[in-house]
Structure 1
Amino acid sequence: MMDSNKYFIRDDQSQINVKWKIRRVIATLKAIYFRARLVLSNPKILSKKYNVAICAIFKNEAAYLKEWIEFNHIVGVEHFYLYNNNSEDDYQSVLRPFIDAGLVTLIQWPHNQKQMECYMDCIDQYAFETKWLGFIDIDEFIVPKSTDSVYEFLKPFEKKAGAVNIYWKIFGTSGRMDRNLSGLVCEDFTVCWPKYMDLGKCFYNTAYGFDKNSKHSGQLHHKFWANYKGIDIPPVNIFNRVCVGSRNVARTPDFPIQINHYFTKSYREYAMKRGKGDVYFKINPHDEDYFYEHEMKCTSTDYSAYKYLIKLKLKLGSENSDEI
């Protein structure tokens, strides 16, 4: 039996037992059903202000915001809806030029541990402005590989899917205990997991509806269930395979797009991240054991983001230029 998780990190062969096979068969049957629902759907594609926008919530991440915005803007994100969750750093001076340029909408979100509610608020308030609305964090960089822009990749899905799940490539410390924060995250960290994580983040096709009261809405950034004529529909993955339960199907190691998840950055930055609080957990569970659980899988390298580095450095100016 072919292992459908061959290219994902969560492919423990010991889990392939009778119970696993039954769950897989059920998931496959559900996928066939939802594929039929998608084929029969006919959403109306409207012209909107933006083709692709991002919703993100942040807390004390001023040091990373500029690079993150510029990189994701270069790959085709046209607008950012940024929700500030009680930051105490100088985020406003970083964001002011982007707000003045119309690239960023800043929303104050003082509600602790209300990340999903933040996303639902963004859908309510702003989904009408954009064809696609993605949900990523400040340590996540979208890296198109088969195309040069996010929308170029997403456009063929506009009448095929209510949401598209883009998988994580997890990056570790690259052996760095510490680093100068003026360096670029996407340049400094290249050591990663050899396979993709079987989770990622979703881009919502706003031509479809969304039911915030649905039982499926609790983890909408990982598994966004859209709604079409009263029926909830699961996301598809980057290969247009319906994602139901833990069903993640890939037939090739060549993924056309990925999200670089810079999970730890340097060891010191990971410690700082643990100490500053979290927008999701009241008590951050990311302890030393959690760190090594991820770090010890970092046995490969990935330079996919490097094709955008020159554009990024030119955008950021002399502060990130190489010495001549």
Structure 2
Amino acid sequence: MSKKVLENKYFIYDHPRKKGILYFAKYCITGIENVFYNICFCLVRKKRLSRKYKVTICAIFKNEAPYLKEWIEYHRIIGVEHFYLYNNNSSDDFQDVLQPYINSNKVTLIDFPKQHAQKKAYQDCINKYRKEAEWIGFIDIDEFVVPVKDNNIIDFLNRFKKYPAVKIYWKVFGTSGIIDRDINGLVVNDFRISWPKYDEVGKCFYNTSFDVNLNSKKMSVLHHNFWGVWHKIALPPVNCFGFISQHGFEKVKNKDFPIQINHYFTKSYNEYFNIKAIKGDVWYKENQHPKKSYFFRHEMLCTKRDDSINKYLIKLKLIMKK
């Protein structure tokens, strides 16, 4: 009989797991596969690429105008040099917010009116822009990459040049008890209460020196689980500790994660139900957000303060004041 497991020492499972015979058989098979992949990684030799940018981010957005400036400026502080932003049927004033960044060549804006088109937007970005950047990260506007051990994303990624992609885990943040909020305030300053452990779900930064098969079944959710190709061999991503991440099996060294993605899943209560729940989703056809059970499933796990992002706040506040 399978046992349902909600968490382990380091992770809260976004989707509870059933541990039984099939689970342990899959675990053993994955271990054997990982031996092969680690041998491949030992053999990988990659030449230094001459690219226009070292680190870029690709994101698809819909009606996110109030949040775009903070999100861009924060990621510029940690070393992101360029942004490929896909507008998915927005009706707000996003153009006014983004125009200065477009003019200064910090943002490439692409209109992408397809429905539920997150994966297609990422595929389009890879096909069009992979030769411009050494790394392309795939995250959302409510996600902020936080280098904890390093002070910038470039130093972190420099340790992973022989891997096709690096997975960075979510730290999920809730409302911090806020119902109404002045949306002119900084998201990263207003919300401090998170899950006490990491979500085993994360997002990937793609190393463009590796080829990629966008039609592979392994790439069905490429932003969460990015596989590269080396000499026609599909290779899985590694996590922020350098361990292979596949089939949901996540190995870590200790509780001191060197980097995380702050996922501001809800923001305030009214922002969640008046904005996020209404606008729909660029990925799922069935929008789960209006369900209060879905909201409280995440909110009730937010029991610990996380200030990992604090070291970047003064720089961000000074920039935003300008």
TM-score (norm 2): 0.94
Measure how far apart 1:257 and its partner are. 0.3
| Among candidates 292, 295, 298, match of residue 291 of structure 1 | 295
> Does residue 81 in structure 1 map to residue 84 in structure 2?
yes
Tell me which of 217, 224, 240 is aligned to 1:222: 224
Does the CA-based 8 Å contact 1:5-1:11 persist in structure 2? Answer: no
Aligned length: 314
- Structure 1 range deviating more: 52-61 or 276-285: 276-285
User: Are positions 1:276 and 2:279 aligned together?
Assistant: yes
Q: What is the letter of the counterpart of residue 48 of structure 2? A: I
Determine if the alignment matches structure 1 residue 147 to structure 2 residue 179. no
Residue 40 of structure 1 deviates from its aligned partner by 1.4
Deviations, residues 194-231 of structure 1 (Å, cap 9, x unaligned) = 00000100000001001111111210000001111111
Unaligned 5+ residue runs, structure 1? 319-324
Instruction: Measure, in 2, the Cα distance between the counterparts of 1:215 and 1:261.
Output: 26
Task: State whether residues 147 and 153 of structure 1, in contact with CA within 8 Å, keep that contact through their aligned partners in structure 2.
Answer: yes
Give the equivalent residue in structure 1 for 2:266.
264
Q: What is residue 248 of structure 1 aligned with on the other side?
A: 250
Q: How does 1:30-69 map to 2 (within 5 A)?
A: 30-69=33-72
Residue type at the aligned position of 2:313 = L
Percent of aligned positions that are identical: 51
More relative contact order in 1 or in 2 (CA 8 Å, sep 6+)?
1
Taking the aligned partners of 2:71 and 2:270, their CA distance within structure 1 comes to: 20
1:282 CA displacement: 3.1
Q: After superposition, where does 1:1-324 map in structure 2 within 5 Å? A: 5-10=8-13, 15-159=18-162, 161-271=163-273, 272-286=275-289, 287-317=291-321
Q: Distance in 2 between matches of 1:57 and 1:91?
A: 12
Q: Distance in 1 between the 2:172 and 2:271 partners?
A: 16
Cα distance, 1:22 vs structure 2: 2.2
Q: For the residues of structure 1 that align with 2:157 and 2:32, how far apart are their CA atoms? A: 26
CA distance in structure 1 between the aligned counterparts of 2:20 and 2:158, rounded to whole angstroms: 39
RMSD: 1.6
Structure 2 counterpart SS, 1:80 = strand
* Unmatched runs of 5 consecutive residues or more in structure 2: 1-6
* Aligned partner of residue 10 in structure 1, secondary structure: strand
Q: Secondary structure at the match of 2:171?
A: strand
Paired AA for residue 22 in structure 2: K
Moved more, 277-286 or 63-72: 277-286
Secondary structure at the residue paired with 2:151? Answer: coil
Q: Which amino acid aligns with 2:296?
A: Y
Q: CA deviation at 1:33?
A: 1.1
Distance 2:53 2:115 in 1: 29
**TM-score scaled to structure 1, two decimals?**
0.94
Alpha-carbon deviations, 1:244-283, whole Å to 9, x = none?
2011011210000000000000000111211012211233
- Separation in structure 2 between the aligned mates of residue 124 and residue 12 of structure 1, nearest angstrom: 32
Find the aligned partners of 1:11 and 1:317 in 2 and give their Cα distance: 37
Amino acid at match of 2:173: F
Per-residue Cα deviation, 1:19-58 (whole angstroms, up to 9, x for no partner): 3322221111111111111211222221211110000000
More strand by proportion, 1 or 2? Answer: 2
